[in-house]
Amino acid sequence: MKIESLKIENVGGISSLSLDSFDPNLNIICGENGIGKTNILDSIASLFSSYEPISISVKSGFEQGCIKSSVDGKVISRPIKKKYTNLTYKTWECVNDENANFNLLYLKVNRVFKYRRESSINSDPDVINRTTENAEGLDNDDIKQWFVSRYLHSAHVNNLTDVQQENIKLAISCFSLLDNKVTFCKTTTQNEIIVKTPTGEIYFELLSSGFRSILFILLGIIKEIEYRFQDNNVLASDFNGIILIDEIELHLHPEWQGKVCSVLTKTFPKAQFIISTHSPHVIQTAEANEVIALSGENGHLEKRTLDIAPHGFKGWTVEEILTDVMGMRDVRTEKYREVYTKFSRALDDNDIKAATEAHNELDKLLHPTYPLRALFKMQLDGLKG
Ligand SMILES: Nc1ncnc2c1ncn2[C@@H]1O[C@H](COP(=O)(O)OP(=O)(O)OP(=O)(O)O)[C@@H](O)[C@H]1O
Ligand SMILES: [Mg+2]
């Protein structure tokens, strides 16, 4: 299942938006705070959910909004109705069961799991109702249950199907994808998952927030695919549905932000990712057709046309992405601007004293190897004669 286009009218803060093409593998949505990135992901998720979503509402002041999309050549749409009447929340309503779709997985921003004691390992949950979570995102509380259960069974011949064996192997490899010094070690008789790290063997819940965030995504996806496709045995690496992830960079150091998309697309090569980000490091790894940079006013949004190199953003600096793609007006601080303006004004006015003072300030502000340092020094020396 792949999305080809999307149209949103009067949903959340969005008055109008039309996206005519999506990449079949990776789509990275960026834009300023509050522009509507999460509204877009929520809207897509709600198309595949049997319940009226809680997280999005019709645009304030309107009676009805609409989400429409072309998916695998077929147009699907959903009206979004007014939910608040005199500030009272209307009951959660089942709109249409046919909308529920197993092929959509949504990871919202809350993804750092806490320690959870598992006194017993239960049987697999019922498949029914798993898609009601579609619009609200996966909570992934059951990652530990799934992993421990599968790992224990994997030691016994024929307990797991071949697909389940492959899926647990993939899950084990996920522990080391961003840093190969961390590896899965074992499970214990208390149903704990132990990982080997450079500082010792620890419960997996004690890993850093960045690691937990990535495991929440990767193990959460594999677990969910297995639970949803119990009957037809889908290999996680063969999953060809849609995976939505809000703010992919959460808790990740810039170096990992620059790796995370390739980890996702290599682990799930047939899926269509639609993710949002505020990270120039994520965008830096993108191909030309993978970035949806939003702009617009009063909720009338559009995808900006960017002057992109044939190989995308891989040769661009982070500063170039911040200004040209993410719309940042200035990558320098106000303080720098103020001192620099003082310096150039003093040069224009031939004011040696003011220029020397401003130059001394610049000297303390700039990076030690900033290329324009030499030019500023030459300009000051020239003024002094
Ligand atoms: N029903 C509504 N009517 C009007 N505006 C709304 C409604 N629901 C949400 N909004 C507004 O829509 C805007 C878009 O929100 P959204 O959460 O999608 O932004 P975002 O791009 O994800 O921002 P961030 O990067 O901060 O997460 C918000 O500014 C919010 O105030
Ligand atoms: Mg958001």
For atom 30 of ligand 1, the residue with the nearest CA is 13
**C-alpha of residue 13 to centroid of ligand 1, in Å:** 5
- Per-domain residue ranges of the chain: 3-325, 334-384
Q: Using 50, 70 and 90 to split pLDDT, how confident is the model at 83?
A: low
Best of 38, 58, 277 for a ligand 1 pocket test (most atoms within 8 Å of beta carbon): 38
For residues 168-191, give the mean pLDDT: 96
pLDDT (tens digit per residue) in 95-135 = 555 667 889 999 999 988 889 999 999 999 888 778 777 88
Atom of ligand 1 nearest to the CA of 58: 1
Q: Is 70 in the pocket of ligand 1 (CB under 6 A)?
A: no
What's the whole-model pTM score?
Answer: 0.93
Structure tokens of 3?
């999305």
Ligand 1 binding pocket includes 38 (Cβ within 6 Å): yes
C-alpha torsion angle, residues 289, 291, 297, 301 (rounded to 10): 50
Closest atom, ligand 1, to C-alpha of 14? 12
Q: 39 CB under 6 A from ligand 1?
A: yes
| SS3 state at 45 | helix
Residue labelled with tokens 């995102």? 137
34 lines ligand 1 (CB under 6 A): yes
36 CB within 6 A, ligand 1: yes
**Distances in whole angstroms, Cα of residue 242 to Cα of each of 23, 107, 137, 384:** 11, 11, 13, 65
- Work out the percent of the chain whose per-residue pLDDT is above 70: 95
Expressed in angstroms and rounded, the spacing between residue 31 Cα and the centre of ligand 2 is 10
Q: Is the CB of 280 under 6 A from ligand 1?
A: no
Query: For the segment 23-40, what is each residue's pLDDT rounded down to a tens digit?
Result: 999 999 999 999 999 999
Contacts of 147 (CB under 8 A, 6+ apart): 168, 171, 187, 193, 219, 223
Q: Is 320 exposed, middle or buried (0-12, 13-18, 19+ CB in 10 A)?
A: middle
Closest CA to 363 of 353, 350, 372, 354: 372
Q: What is the pLDDT of residues 351-378, one digit of tens each?
A: 999 999 999 999 999 999 999 999 999 9
CATH 1.20.120.10 fits 3-325, yes or no: no
pLDDT of residue 314 exceeding 60, the answer is: yes
User: To 5 degrees, how large is the angle CA 231–CA 232–CA 233?
Assistant: 100
